[in-house]
C-alpha cells in the first residue's frame, strides 16, 4: 500500500466544495496525518481530481453511480482515469441519443488494477471507443479529503483486492444493435467537453444564467436546438 498523505487544508476543501456545488450539509474532514484507508467511520475518501478530470460533475449521473454500485467500488477506490473513461462512454451514448447501459459498457470496458486503485480499461473483444491511449498523469494522490457517506444514495462496502475482477463479457446478440453500430463508428479522443454540451446531455447542472435556456447550435447560429430537444 502506497503511504500518501493529503496536502489539502480546511480552507482549500471548503473552496473546492463551494466551487463544485457540493451540498454544504455534507460534513467534511481534513485528513491531516491520516492516509486514505484510515478514513473515519461514516466517511468516504474524495480525490479532488475526479471532478477536475474531464466531464464528471456533482451531482453524479445515475449511470456513473450505477457503475460504482455494479463493481462495488467506493469513490476513493477508482483512479481518475477510470472515472474519465466511464464518463466518456456515457457522453458518447447520450450524444447519439441513447441511454447508456451497463450491458453495453461491460462489452467495451472492464475493471482492472492500477497500483493501489482500480481503473477501467478496454476489453479485448471490441474496437476501443477511445481513439488514443493517452492517460492523465497529473498529481492527484495527495489531494483528497474525507466526506460524509451521505454523498451517495446507497451504501457501498469497499471492494477487496482479493476479489475477482470481471464476469464474462456479454454476447453481441444481447446488445442494442443500433447503439453498438453507432459506437463503433464514433471513436473519439478522451477530452474535456464544453460545459454547455454537458448541460445539454444532462451531465452538468452548471448553467449560470437560469433566466435563459441553453441551446445547441449547428453550423449557423440560426440552426439551434433547445435543451429539451435532447431529453
Rounded CA separation 156/75 (Å): 9
In a 10 Å sphere around its CB, with 0-12 CB exposed, 13-18 middle and 19+ buried, how is residue 190 labelled? Answer: buried
Residue 231: the pLDDT is 43
Rounded CA separation 90/61 (Å): 9
| Of residues 157, 167, 159, 57, the one with CA closest to residue 105 | 167
- pLDDT 10s digits, 157-173: 778 877 877 778 888 99
3-state secondary structure of 112: strand
Residue 136: the pLDDT is 53
Residue 98: the pLDDT is 96
Q: Which residues of the chain have pLDDT under 70?
A: 1-2, 53-54, 132-138, 208-231
Rounded CA separation 34/5 (Å): 7
Residue 134: the pLDDT is 53
pTM: 0.86
Joined together, the cell numbers standing for residue 25 give: 450539509
In a 10 Å sphere around its CB, with 0-12 CB exposed, 13-18 middle and 19+ buried, how is residue 163 labelled? Answer: exposed
| Of residues 2, 102, 8, the one with CA closest to residue 52 | 8
Amino acid at each position: 500500500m502506497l503511504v500518501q498523505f493529503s496536502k489539502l487544508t480546511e480552507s482549500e476543501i471548503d473552496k473546492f466544495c463551494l466551487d463544485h456545488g457540493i451540498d454544504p450539509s455534507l460534513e467534511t474532514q481534513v485528513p491531516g496525518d491520516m492516509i486514505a484507508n484510515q478514513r473515519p467511520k461514516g466517511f468516504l475518501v474524495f480525490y479532488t481530481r475526479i471532478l477536475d478530470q474531464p466531464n464528471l460533475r456533482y451531482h453524479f449521473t445515475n449511470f456513473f453511480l450505477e457503475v460504482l454500485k455494479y463493481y462495488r467500488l467506493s469513490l476513493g477506490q477508482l483512479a481518475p482515469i477510470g472515472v474519465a473513461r466511464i464518463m466518456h462512454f456515457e457522453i458518447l451514448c447520450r450524444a447519439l441519443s441513447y441511454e447508456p447501459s451497463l450491458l453495453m459498457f461491460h462489452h467495451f470496458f472492464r475493471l482492472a488494477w492500477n497500483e493501489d486503485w482500480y481503473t477501467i480499461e478496454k476489453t479485448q473483444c471490441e474496437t476501443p471507443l477511445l481513439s488514443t491511449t493517452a492517460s492523465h498523469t497529473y498529481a492527484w494522490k495527495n489531494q483528497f479529503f474525507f466526506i460524509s457517506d451521505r454523498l451517495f444514495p446507497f451504501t457501498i462496502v469497499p471492494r477487496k483486492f482479493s476479489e475477482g475482477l470481471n464476469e464474462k463479457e456479454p454476447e453481441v446478440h444481447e446488445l442494442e444493435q443500433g447503439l453498438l453500430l453507432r459506437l463503433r463508428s464514433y471513436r473519439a479522443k478522451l477530452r474535456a467537453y464544453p460545459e454547455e454540451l454537458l448541460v445539454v446531455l444532462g451531465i452538468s447542472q452548471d448553467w449560470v444564467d437560469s433566466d435563459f435556456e441553453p441551446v445547441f447550435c449547428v453550423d449557423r447560429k440560426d440552426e439551434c436546438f433547445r435543451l429539451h430537444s435532447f431529453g
